[in-house]
């Protein structure tokens, strides 16, 4: 399924910027998040833009 999908973020799975960010569910660019439709990698800068864009990872 290609195109844009709006979905809810359930959890932060992995954040390479800092281990504490994963524990505290802080979103940064490059973080792996769990969404309703699968895992995704964040491509935007949520702290600067106020919006989260990401790419779905293969299942």
Other beta carbons within 10 angstroms of residue 30's beta carbon come to: 13
Residue 59, pLDDT score: 63
Which CATH number fits the domain that encloses residue 33?
A: 2.40.10.310
Residue 1, pLDDT score: 56
**Residue 2 in this model has a pLDDT that exceeds 80:** no
Number of domains in the chain: 1
In sequence order, the β-bridge partners of residue 11 are 34
Q: Which strand (E) or helix (H) includes residue 19?
A: helix 19-23
The reply to whether 13 falls in a domain is: yes
Cα 33 to Cα 14: distance, rounded to the nearest angstrom? 7
Residue among 54, 22, 21, 15 at smallest CA distance from 37: 54
How confident is the model over 11-56, as pLDDT tens digits?
999 999 999 999 999 999 999 999 999 999 999 999 999 999 999 9
Give the structural domain span for 21: 9-56
Provide the whole-model pTM: 0.87
């Amino acid at each position: 399924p290609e195109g844009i999908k709006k979905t809810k973020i359930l959890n932060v799975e992995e954040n390479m910027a800092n281990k504490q960010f994963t524990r505290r569910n802080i979103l940064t660019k490059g973080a792996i998040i769990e969404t309703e439709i699968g895992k995704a990698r964040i491509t935007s800068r949520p702290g600067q833009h106020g919006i989260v864009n990401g790419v779905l990872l293969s299942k």
